[in-house]
Amino acid sequence: MSSFSSQTQTNIQFAADLIRQAKHAVILTGAGISTPSGIPDFRSTDSGLWSKDEPLEVASLSTFRTHPERFFAWFRPLASQIFYAKPNPAHQALAELEKKGYLKSIVTQNIDTLHQKAGSKTVIEMHGTMQTLTCTQCYHQVNAKPYLAPFVETGEIPHCPKCNQTLKPDVILFGEQLPQAAWHKAQTEARQSDLMLVAGSSLEVLPVAGLPMQTLDRGGHLIIINNAPTYINVRADVIFSEDVSTILPAITERVLHG
């Protein structure tokens, strides 16, 4: 705690008090929680994935259907970073808060499964997951792990063991709808929540960006941890612009040990 300014230390204490008092705390996480693990975000001006590629040309459903090799060529470096990434202290802090009963669920915009690797149990994946692949022809679903290693190492495009057609990672591409079960669950959590934390998300992508409003509209509290302002900062009880991988562990330490 001594490395933080006095104002940040005060804010950490305030955030910890809100978490301890909450009956149903939920967190919404975005790419910023995983950048300390070496996974790039999508929208940063210089380092984001979309600063290098036009999303509709490489990461759309139509591109996957017509030129899957183009999608996989773009996807391979990201898949490699995800494949080898380890949870960072922010992921571990959230897993500890959930384990101790202070956090009911994690709604994430990420596909990297780092929350699960850190030990979190109730993770709602809004943009799909890298845990499974589905055949574009017969819709047979497989565990991704046996297919990711050869793809990452050699670029081998995964094919269905049943019909030999291309397997698609179960991530949401441009032109696809959000997974409806996850979306309904996320809305339910937001509406039941009396405290929402936002960590590592710029809240620029709808409809997920609207979830904090559902908590606020029902009288809930809001904590934001993000290195850039969001549209809803004006409604937050407390805002942190520091590194999420240092702030979340500090808040968790204060929640658990005073």
63 lies in which domain range?
Answer: 45-84+130-171
* pLDDT bucket at 2, cuts 50 / 70 / 90: low
* pLDDT bucket at 59, cuts 50 / 70 / 90: confident
Structure tokens at 115: 């929350």
Structure tokens at 253: 């330490």
One domain, residues 206 and 104: yes
Whether 127 is catalytic is yes
Domains: count for the chain: 2
User: Nearest to residue 87, comparing CAs of 61, 58, 68, 112?
Assistant: 112
One domain, residues 206 and 254: yes
Give the least confident one: 1-15, 103-117, 161-175.
1-15
Distance CA 145, CA 154 (A): 15
Q: Residue 215's CB: how many other CB atoms inside 10 A?
A: 25
Query: Which pLDDT score, from 0 to 100, does residue 55 have?
Result: 61
- Within a 13 Å sphere around the CA of 149, how many CA atoms are in the beta-carbon half? 3
For helices 6-21 and 244-257, angle between their N-to-C axes, nearest 10 degrees: 60
Query: Which pLDDT score, from 0 to 100, does residue 175 have?
Result: 85
Residue % of the chain over a pLDDT of 70 = 93
| Listed residues 108, 140, 171: the one ending a domain | 171
One domain, residues 30 and 136: no
Rg (CA), the chain: 19
- Tens digits of residue pLDDT in 18-51: 999 999 999 999 999 999 999 987 544 454 444 4
CATH number, domain containing residue 232: 3.40.50.1220
Report how far Cα 227 is from the mean position of its chain's Cα atoms.
15
- In the set 24, 67, 91, 127, the catalytic residue is 127
Section 117-137 average pLDDT:
95
One domain, residues 195 and 159: no
* pLDDT bucket at 232, cuts 50 / 70 / 90: very high
Contact 82, 130 (CB under 8 A): yes
Contact 112, 36 (CB under 8 A): no
Distance CA 96, CA 61 (A): 37
Residue reference for tokens 């978490």: 19
One domain, residues 115 and 144: no
User: What b/e sequence results for 104-139 when a residue is b if at least 16 CB atoms lie within 10 Å of its CB, and e otherwise?
Assistant: bbbbbbbbbbbbbebebeebbbbbbbbebbbbeeee
| Listed residues 171, 195, 223: the one ending a domain | 171
One domain, residues 9 and 107: yes
Give the least confident one: 3-7, 43-47, 79-83.
43-47
CATH number, domain containing residue 52: 3.30.1600.10
